[in-house]
Amino acid sequence: MQTLYVELGDRRYPIFIGSQLNVTEQLVPYIKGKQVMIVTNTTVAPLYLEHYSNAFKRIGKTVKQCILPDGEKYKNIEYLNLIFDALLQENFNRDCTVVALGGGVIGDMAGFAAASFQRGVYFVQIPTTLLSQVDSSVGGKTGINHSLGKNMIGAFKQPQAVFADMSQLKSLPPRELSAGLSEVIKYALLGDVDFLIWLEAHIDDLVQGDEQKLAEAVYRSCAHKAKIVANDEKEKGERALLNLGHTFGHAIESYLGYGEWLHGEAVAVGMLMAADLSCQIGWLSQQDVIRVETLLKRAKLPIRYPSIPLEQFLSYMAHDKKVLEGQLRLILLKSLGQAVITADFDTEKMNQAILNYQIQG
């Protein structure tokens, strides 16, 4: 097992990374209060709910659960209210702990509920997908989607701890594992060219679910994110770099319908668009773009998206959280391993980058 810390002063918290982690030794000390509400979904509950429920009950906790349907399309105010309903019906108090057991959707919704219920209660993340282990479980971003934009309603809520067990990734469908690798590749592209070289050497092992290699990839990804979050918790500057490919990707998700494409799949194509635009500006070479595309293909990720009318694509981008005073800012690549936040790009070149990755016909 390896342990990282997100350094936020008196809110410092650990990320436990390994296989067959010991719940009693690592996680239990971070379960505060007597009442525990485990928020999970219909896919994860049959696999892991009993295991964690029993562990918490053995130390004298009162454990209840809220089981939501599985899917991005349920990440909205209607289903968020089901968590509040469960907390209120079971008479939970403000010393309780909300435990997110699942992927990014569950983590975001349970975290938002924990931030809001009685103006804030304790919160622990148990991410069960690769994408949530390397991205959404770390850093305190929580929230829900709106029909006009993804993740536009939410709150910052840091967990007490993150518990990332590689052995749970065995239950992931190959498509979900690949979606997680998209976010892993993101960290390499935006700030760590040595990690990029490592990924190019080991991507086949990661696709095959090698737990040792996955643990290394999760550790390096989380280490990168933890450092950025410690410097810029509320995304006033540097943290926006973590959105490489996301402005484009969110437009794909929003137009096609949440859940039709997995988040990591949309981000993969979005990163290609960002690389393409960076090449048009003169920052990347065409060979660099091919290198990115090749790695994404080896990770079994899409590199083209179904045709979307350009005006509608741009409309969704205009609702992005990185729009500041009416000006769209993008995360682009000065080089592989060096991302920048910029509003200084030619709109026509951006439009061309969007169109270059549409499936034609």
| Strand stretches in the chain, DSSP E | 2-6, 13-18, 35-41, 62-68, 97-102, 122-127, 141-146, 149-156, 162-165, 330-335, 338-342
111 and 159 share one domain: yes
Q: Under DSSP, is residue 128 helix (H, G, I), strand (E, B) or coil?
A: coil
- Predicted confidence band of residue 325 (pLDDT cuts 50, 70, 90): low
Quick: pLDDT tens for 55-114: 999 999 999 999 999 998 999 999 999 999 999 999 999 999 999 999 999 999 999 999
Q: What CATH number corresponds to the domain at position 189? A: 1.20.1090.10
- Predicted confidence band of residue 264 (pLDDT cuts 50, 70, 90): very high
Contact by Cβ (8 Å): 233, 156: yes
- Known active-site residue 141: yes
Neighbouring C-beta atoms of residue 282, cutoff 10 Å: 7
- Known active-site residue 76: no
Q: Under DSSP, is residue 242 helix (H, G, I), strand (E, B) or coil?
A: helix
Q: Which of 220, 224, 225, 329 is catalytic?
A: 225
Whose structure tokens read 């061309």? 352
Domain count, the chain: 2
Contact by Cβ (8 Å): 281, 260: no
199 and 341 share one domain: yes
* Mean pLDDT of the region 15-43: 94
- Known active-site residue 220: no
What is the extent of the structural domain holding 123?
Answer: 2-171
What is the percent of the chain with per-residue pLDDT over 90, rounded to a whole number? 87
- Known active-site residue 224: no
pLDDT of residue 25 exceeding 90, the answer is no
Q: Under DSSP, is residue 160 helix (H, G, I), strand (E, B) or coil?
A: coil
Quick: pLDDT tens for 99-116: 999 999 999 999 999 999
Question: In sequence order, what are the beta bridge partners of 37?
Answer: 64, 98
- Known active-site residue 119: yes
- Known active-site residue 322: no
- Known active-site residue 202: no
pTM of the model: 0.92
139 and 262 share one domain: no
- Known active-site residue 146: no
- Known active-site residue 72: no
- Domain end (from 171, 192, 226): 171
Q: Which of 183, 216, 253, 265 is catalytic?
A: 183
Q: Which of 246, 253, 293, 329 is catalytic?
A: 246
- Predicted confidence band of residue 144 (pLDDT cuts 50, 70, 90): very high
The per-residue pLDDT for 322 is 64
- Known active-site residue 239: yes
Q: Which of 239, 253, 265, 293 is catalytic?
A: 239
Q: Which of 64, 141, 220, 329 is catalytic?
A: 141
**Tokens representing residue 132 in the block:** 């949530």
